[in-house]
Amino acid sequence: METEQQDITLLKEAERRLHQLSPDRLRVAVDFLAYLQEREENEVTEELLSIPGFTEAFREAVEEAEAGEVVSFDRIRRHV
């Protein structure tokens, strides 16, 4: 796993390289980054959906939230 400093270094390098691209190539790079992000989000979604009972538990949680059956975070936090 990369450290936070390594992540910062990579981000700075990516930014430096992005600044050197032509507008057309920059558009391609942004599209590719969006593709990678979407791919990562889909992988996470698939992982969650593979957890036994997750879909049903999530559906129930959404229904409870829509019905107003929620507790404020501040109220929960005080009891921890």
The residue ranges of every structural domain in the chain are 4-78
In 3-state terms, what secondary structure has residue 65?
Answer: helix
- 18 within 8 A of 29, measured Cβ to Cβ: yes
What whole-number distance in Å separates Cα of residue 39 and Cα of residue 75? 37
Question: What is the model's pLDDT at position 26?
Answer: 97
User: Which are the contacts of 48, defined by CB distance < 8 A and separation ≥ 6?
Assistant: 54
pLDDT in tens, 47-59: 999 999 999 999 9
Q: Is the pLDDT of residue 77 over 80?
A: no
Amino acid letter, residue 3: T
- 4 within 8 A of 11, measured Cβ to Cβ: no
pLDDT in tens, 11-24: 999 999 999 999 99
pTM of the complete model: 0.60
Percentage of residues of the chain with pLDDT beyond 70: 94
